[in-house]
Chains A and B, each alone.
Chain A
């Protein structure tokens, strides 16, 4: 998997209320959620994010609630992937389960700046900062998570492995 896009940079501990405020959780429609993606962190984000753009952040991205609406909103806004130093546990799980690519890299999280263009080679685990002409290593994705991604998310994985009534 290769991804390339322009970066929108956020800070540490970006919580799920910043990603998708609870006032919009009276719907689960991805298009509707996308309109409010990152709204309480950057009011203008949904209007300016382009298809394929990338979010980078510091530590503990997606902390707080279990709302799957958070990765759903990001994905539906057209964001191709999120790069952070690390992710909160439920957000990490949810992203793999719904097929939003996420990458952990402390170096990338520190060095990539707002507006940089970066390219990710997921198979090799390398992020290339096209603007700065630098490369960063990605923390390897555990084999089970790779299986989930290959199956097309948790539900498809489950349909292959278990009996569904």
Chain B
């Protein structure tokens, strides 16, 4: 019986030869992840259940990346809960400030997640690892606590939707534009409970950095996972960094999909998602009248090396508009160091940008870049909900690093083609 990549991984991890959409399975997970917002509840649940020891101290990742460096006393207490628990349980994948990064940039980079893994994370953007050909999905703290105790999680086998991207990418169109375009097309619940599978010649040519940007935002269409079939690019990425053995699962050519949706990428321009839902997409060129107060480049969506290089390419020798605060956040320490070696940080600082530590801070209106009433941000992050980055009457426009960097220079939404 043919299966999709999603079905194959869930079948293998639940000890089944075959699974069908709608079926409920209890499966063995390869990794459980939680952060400084979600782990405290999981730890409390773990203790309340009377558990003394985690199921496997090598398969739990705690990444305090949201309100760190600690933004206030309460956040410091939460981060301390993770630290104490990690030391008590001798967790091998606890990332303190000396080696922390934004979880979904960090774990693939460190080879903690590899193709064929089944990962649950108490963070909705856990779906990022779908780009590696892992089945990875966001859950809540109680699910994380349950898996920390048992190594297991329950899954309803999702139906799969296949997305096929063909045609030649236009100049300045990135994988961020492709995923924003897709969400604009199907809506924020267009893939509710579904596994999204991204395929086609355009995907085949994307780098791992670019692929992770797409899988990262599957949740913004309601998706349970955002999968890609591993290929040479994937294997080249995991070789040398994989911590454990990987297994390549790929969809059978005759696997069953609920829907197949095709896009001609030649028709896609740089896209911006307007407030206050990621589905409100418009071409960037149609938003030239929107002035911006802040431009954020970074996050688990677009804080990787390729993203910083594009921003630096545009900012080199130019100045950020005097009315704009441009905040740049690398995803991890390795990315930070690489940016340093390549001279990108100097470029950013000279252009007038603020270059910071890896943190989720501003993306969720946590800290390090909050918006005042009436202010407007353009951001490479993943959500533009009401009040997402600050005041409920502030607004967020989502875009690619190229558009966010160009807009920082222009002082309004615009594209790199407009730069002198």
Which residues in A have some Cβ–Cβ distance to B below 8 Å?
Answer: 13, 15, 17-18, 21-23, 25-28, 40-41, 59-60, 63-69, 71-72, 86, 88-90, 93-94, 97-98, 142, 144, 153-155, 158-159, 162-165
Q: How far is the CA of A144 from the CA of B49 in the complex (A)?
A: 21
> Is A66 touching B188 in the complex (CB atoms < 8 A)?
no
Q: How far is the CA of A89 from the CA of B154 in the complex (A)?
A: 13
**Are A66 and B385 CB-contacts (below 8 A) given A165-B52, A165-B55?**
no
**Are A63 and B188 CB-contacts (below 8 A) given A97-B143, A142-B24, A165-B51?**
yes
> Is A26 touching B383 in the complex (CB atoms < 8 A)?
no
Contact with A along B140-168 (1 / 0, CB 8 A): 11110110011010101000000000000
Inter-chain contacts of B366 with A (CB < 8 A): 22-23, 25
Which residues in B have some Cβ–Cβ distance to A below 8 Å?
Answer: 24, 37-38, 40-41, 44-45, 48-55, 66-67, 71-72, 74-75, 78, 121-124, 126, 138-143, 145-146, 149-150, 152, 154, 156, 188-189, 192-193, 219, 222, 224, 277, 364-366, 383, 385-388, 392
> Is B124 touching A155 in the complex (CB atoms < 8 A)?
no
Query: Taking the nearest CB of chain A, how far is it from the CB of B272, in angstroms?
Result: 19
Inter-chain contacts of B51 with A (CB < 8 A): 164-165
> Is B192 touching A60 in the complex (CB atoms < 8 A)?
yes
> Is A21 touching B154 in the complex (CB atoms < 8 A)?
no
Q: How far is the CA of A64 from the CA of B365 in the complex (A)?
A: 14
15 extra interface residue pairs, beta carbon distance < 8 Å, beyond A25-B37, A40-B386: A13-B189, A23-B366, A28-B78, A40-B387, A63-B188, A66-B121, A66-B124, A67-B38, A71-B140, A86-B189, A88-B189, A89-B193, A94-B143, A155-B146, A163-B150
**Are A60 and B188 CB-contacts (below 8 A) given A28-B44, A90-B139, A93-B140?**
yes
Inter-chain contacts of A88 with B (CB < 8 A): 189, 192, 222
Q: How far is the CA of A142 from the CA of B193 in the complex (A)?
A: 14
> Is A40 touching B192 in the complex (CB atoms < 8 A)?
no
> Is B143 touching A93 in the complex (CB atoms < 8 A)?
yes
> Is A164 touching B154 in the complex (CB atoms < 8 A)?
no
Q: How far is the CA of A72 from the CA of B141 in the complex (A)?
A: 11
> Is A64 touching B123 in the complex (CB atoms < 8 A)?
no
> Is A17 touching B386 in the complex (CB atoms < 8 A)?
yes
Inter-chain contacts of A158 with B (CB < 8 A): 49, 146, 149-150, 152
Query: Taking the nearest CB of chain A, how far is it from the CB of B48, in angstroms?
Result: 7
> Is A26 touching B72 in the complex (CB atoms < 8 A)?
yes
Q: How far is the CA of A90 from the CA of B142 in the complex (A)?
A: 11
Q: How far is the CA of A144 from the CA of B145 in the complex (A)?
A: 19
Inter-chain contacts of A153 with B (CB < 8 A): 142
> Is B189 touching A60 in the complex (CB atoms < 8 A)?
yes
**Are A26 and B75 CB-contacts (below 8 A) given A88-B222, A90-B139?**
yes
Query: Taking the nearest CB of chain B, how far is it from the CB of A104, in angstroms?
Result: 12
Inter-chain contacts of A25 with B (CB < 8 A): 37, 66-67, 364, 366
> Is A63 touching B189 in the complex (CB atoms < 8 A)?
yes
> Is A155 touching B222 in the complex (CB atoms < 8 A)?
no
Q: How far is the CA of A25 from the CA of B383 in the complex (A)?
A: 17
**Residue in B71, B74, B123, B224 whose beta carbon sits within 8 Å of that of A89 in the complex:** B224
Inter-chain contacts of A17 with B (CB < 8 A): 364-365, 383, 385-388
Q: How far is the CA of A68 from the CA of B37 in the complex (A)?
A: 10
Query: Taking the nearest CB of chain B, how far is it from the CB of A140, in angstroms?
Result: 13
Q: How far is the CA of A17 from the CA of B381 in the complex (A)?
A: 15
> Is A89 touching B192 in the complex (CB atoms < 8 A)?
yes
**Residue in A15, A22, A66, A72 whose beta carbon sits within 8 Å of that of B122 in the complex:** A66
> Is B48 touching A68 in the complex (CB atoms < 8 A)?
no
Residue pairs across A and B with Cβ atoms less than 8 A apart, 29 shown, are A13-B188, A13-B189, A15-B385, A17-B387, A22-B366, A28-B40, A28-B78, A60-B192, A66-B123, A66-B124, A66-B126, A67-B37, A68-B141, A68-B142, A86-B189, A88-B189, A90-B140, A93-B143, A94-B139, A97-B143, A142-B24, A155-B142, A158-B146, A158-B150, A159-B49, A164-B150, A165-B51, A165-B54, A165-B55
Residue of B74, B152, B385, B388 with most partner-chain A CB within 10 A: B385
